[in-house]
Amino acid sequence: MHHAHLILALGCSLLPLAAAPHPWKDPAGTRTIQGEFISRDARHVTIRRTDGLVFTLDLKKVHPDDLKWLDANHPLPATQAAEPSVDNTAVFDALHFGDTRQQVLAKLKASKIVELSIDETYLGRLGLNGTFQTRKDLGGLRCMLFFDWSEGGLMREVSLQTQALPAAAYPTRLKACLDDFAKLLTTLYGPPLQNATYPPLTDLTDGAFLATHLWRLEGGGSALLGSARENEGYMTVVRFTQKEIQPVRVPIP
């Protein structure tokens, strides 16, 4: 299963005349998404889905008929086609496992996907956790970024965490958000290794994260989708971790 670099359309301007959406199929032709062509290179195609989300697909995950359509309507320049391909193992935006804090900060500040939610002068005191957020709502909710680091100060996990909501929103807004994330991540990574039922509210103890979905990343590591609780706040969380998590729905320490 090949990793597809997730690119979320945040703050992109509309084209004067939007192109008609194209039906993109997976290699087996069993799943289809409607998306407008944005750009391509020798290994990837970037499309804008009808709901505004923009992401990049590896051409190995695209149906042969779509490859023919792509070459006929958007051929590569001869010089670009001749260039050797470069592996892209970014796990979110331009972030890679093993990035230093300085590299992560520089990439976040240059990102078109996330933005600072505080005055930059407070970064040194508050750190990176919770200080960057997505520029647009994902699954109907704004998401903040949180990180976990190795003893040597290298990034080993990055999480997207929605704003905390009260228990009353758990079976409604947060469930809808998780379902939207599951569809998007399945489009990018294929069927999940784990697809558990939505956990009851009573299963979420304070500080717990219950993963309902699990994907393996080709470059190493895992993507998990689930629900979390902190005090009386409930959240939907996507975690990209360097660990190879086994498909069992348990709280992740």
pLDDT value at position 234?
Answer: 97
What's the pLDDT tens digit per position in 35-85?
888 888 877 888 888 777 777 888 888 888 988 898 889 888 765 544 443
Question: What whole-number distance in Å separates Cα of residue 221 and Cα of residue 228?
Answer: 20
Burial class (CB within 10 angstroms; exposed 0-12, middle 13-18, buried 19+) of 231: exposed
Residues 6+ apart with CB under 8 A from 71: none
Residue 117 has pLDDT above 80, yes or no: yes
Question: What whole-number distance in Å separates Cα of residue 240 and Cα of residue 90?
Answer: 10
* Higher per-residue pLDDT: 43 or 211: 211
* Higher per-residue pLDDT: 210 or 252: 210
pLDDT value at position 130?
Answer: 92
What is the SS3 string spanning 87-125? CCCCCECCECCCCEHHHHHHHHHHCCCEEECCCHHHHHH
pLDDT value at position 80?
Answer: 52
pLDDT value at position 104?
Answer: 94
Residue 153 has pLDDT above 50, yes or no: yes
Q: What pTM, to 2 d.p., does this model score?
A: 0.67
Residue 233 has pLDDT above 50, yes or no: yes
Question: Going from the N-terminus, what domains does the chain have, and what CATH number goes with each?
Answer: 1-88 (2.30.30.700), 101-241 (no CATH)
Instruction: Give CA 241 to chain center in angstroms.
Output: 12
Q: Three-class SS of residue 128?
A: coil
What rounded mean pLDDT belongs to the chain?
A: 83
Question: What whole-number distance in Å separates Cα of residue 253 and Cα of residue 244?
Answer: 14
Question: Helix and strand tally (H, E) in the chain?
Answer: 5, 12
- Average pLDDT estimate for 207-225: 91
Question: What whole-number distance in Å separates Cα of residue 182 and Cα of residue 138?
Answer: 12
pLDDT band at 188 (very low <50, low <70, confident <90, very high): confident
| Rg, the chain, Cα only | 19
Residue 181 has pLDDT above 50, yes or no: yes
